[in-house]
Amino acid sequence: MCGIAGIYSPIKSRVMLSNIATNMADSIFHRGPDDGGIWLDSHTNIAFSHRRLSIIDTSNGGHQPMISASGRYTIVFNGEIYNHHLLRKKLESSISNIKWKGGSDTEVLLESIGLWGLSKTLQISEGMFALALWDALEKKLYLSRDRFGEKPLYYGNIGKDFVFGSELKALRAHPDFSNKLDRGAISNFLQYSHVPSPKSIFEDIYKLPPAHILCVNFQTNEKKLSTY
């Protein structure tokens, strides 16, 4: 189990973004006590944070947030890709002289996205996961979950800021969090003993449905939800 979180803000300074991302990661420390990291994009006000439980690759080669060899993509990943050895072999047969940083499934997933794109990579990946991917070229954020929804992922707006995280407590670590309880979600909970997707218990905060990709374009303020 690992934990991911992130924030985009059109108004906050980089120092504030770094502090918020750090607090979000600290709030889910229990999900990944082995390692942690913060990343900020140099051109866009977006920050990722990660808490790591080291299993497949316990070396620094599996440190996250992780940047692709091309520099285009940055990822935070929670979960496991069961067929990552097969995907690694396919990559090595398609790209010559790949210089791997380590043996993590995260790196395989990231380089697969660079070669085949996010949707196709997820279609051929077998595993359980929640991830966030930043495309520095197109300036787009992608959030995705596995087919069965084993790994949680919440997202939404806090004021003018867009946030996401593995748990609601990561979003509540945002200093401006004041989202009201969603009365419809409370009704659902009393009726079904849980809050069905895509709602959460808070207004303007949602659960990403399983087997979906959410694409957020901060330049146009558009959000597109699709299956893969």
Q: Which residues on neighbouring strands pair with residue 122, listed in sequence order?
A: none
Query: In the annotation, is 215 catalytic?
Result: no
CB atoms inside a 10 Å sphere around CB 196: 12
| Nearest CA among 105, 108, 83, 81 for reference residue 95 | 108
**Which residue of the set 1, 2, 139, 223 is catalytic?**
2
Say which residues have a Cβ less than 8 Å from residue 118's Cβ, sequence separation at least 6: 133, 142, 144, 213, 228
Which two tokens mark 12? 């906050």
Q: ω into residue 198 within 30 of 0, thus cis?
A: yes
What does the DSSP 8-state code read for residue 197? T
CB atoms inside a 10 Å sphere around CB 138: 12
| Nearest CA among 150, 165, 158, 141 for reference residue 221 | 141
The residues that are catalytic are 2
